[in-house]
Structure 1
Amino acid sequence: MTDYMVTGLVKKRAELAGELERTHERLRELVQQLEHLDATLRLVAPDVEVEAIRPKAFRPPDDWSKRGQMSRLVLSILRQAKEPLTSREIAAQMLLERALDTSDQRMLRTMTKRVSTALRDQREKGRVESEDGPGTYQLWSVSRSEAPTRCLPAPQR
């Protein structure tokens, strides 16, 4: 085996181990803060059941599509796809890329609606195309006219 390969793998492992250690430390801090907060709540309001308090889920901002970030992400996912995708598949991929909880059905529905809106806007601009898919779903792909083409120089006369 080549030395530079081993060196690179050792370096990458050290980076990942360091990141994991920092993540564990941050997790310990969060648990400690949560325990302190729970203890304070029990002192101030002994009748409150802190275990019944549900964690607040991340909600994407309402104006994602207005800033263009949503459209850029959707187009990026479609360009990397090997076949047309449904808006739900695009939304799931977006959640996965942003390291968000893909099992949260409510968030997936919200993101699917936002992705669908962005796709319709991009269809009106001619950047994406849709075709009938399974059930009531549309399959989306990058428009053929939007696909990158190589420009050849005009012939010399």
Structure 2
Amino acid sequence: MNEFVLNGLVKRRAELAGDIENTHERLRQPVNDLASLDLVILQFDPSYVVESIRPKAFRPPADWSKRGEMNRVIMSILRQAAEPLTTRDIALQLLIERALDKNDQKLLRLMTKRVAVCLADYRARGVVRSEQGPGQYNTWEIAR
């Protein structure tokens, strides 16, 4: 019994060591690119202190969701609805529930697209159904 456990642990350690080696290899290229870029900057201004350039941190936009969060909110909105809702109505309610700016038309269009993609997936799985609604929007409800 211990032999099987030991073999599994050795195999897993080998996989992790391989992952680390692969990650180091992938990191070498950006490090080399950064060094080359520093050299080019110094060609233009030899006195420039390239170490003074602060890295730009990646910050996800406020409208991003954690995995599955948007799906749960959309389904909650549909469960509470007295009648079928348009894609845009669901997106607007989603903005309100997530305390985002509901007057930001660009954000509303983006969320409407995201809601439409989510609902299309749910429709393919038979969870929700849609009908042609007003304008270009479908109306959605939970499939009974």
> TM-score, normalization: structure 1?
0.51
Q: Please, which runs of 5 or more residues in structure 2 have no aligned partner?
A: 1-60
Q: Corresponding residue for 1:44?
A: none
Is 1:97 the counterpart of 2:97? The answer is yes
SS at match of 1:129: strand
Q: What pairs up with 1:3-152 in 2 under 5 angstroms?
A: 59-61=62-64, 64=65, 67-144=67-144
SS at match of 2:70: helix
Q: Is the 8 Å Cα contact of residues 63 and 100 (structure 2) preserved in structure 1?
A: no
Instruction: Determine the C-alpha separation between the residues in 2 that align with 1:136 and 1:99.
Output: 26
Higher alpha-carbon Rg: 2
The alignment of Structure 1 onto Structure 2 pairs a total of residues equal to 84
**Shift of residue 135 of structure 1?**
1.9
Q: Is the 8 Å Cα contact of residues 87 and 115 (structure 1) preserved in structure 2?
A: yes
Fraction of identical pairs, as percent: 55
Q: Which runs of 4+ in 1 moved over 6 A?
A: none
Q: Is the 8 Å Cα contact of residues 71 and 122 (structure 1) preserved in structure 2?
A: no
Instruction: Determine the C-alpha separation between the residues in 2 that align with 1:59 and 1:108.
Output: 13
Aligned-pair Cα RMSD in Å:
1.4
SS at match of 1:83: coil
Instruction: Determine the C-alpha separation between the residues in 2 that align with 1:141 and 1:83.
Output: 7
**Shift of residue 59 of structure 1?**
3.8
1:96-124 CA distances to partner (integer Å, 9 max, x unpaired)? 11111100001101100100000001101
> TM-score, normalization: structure 2?
0.55
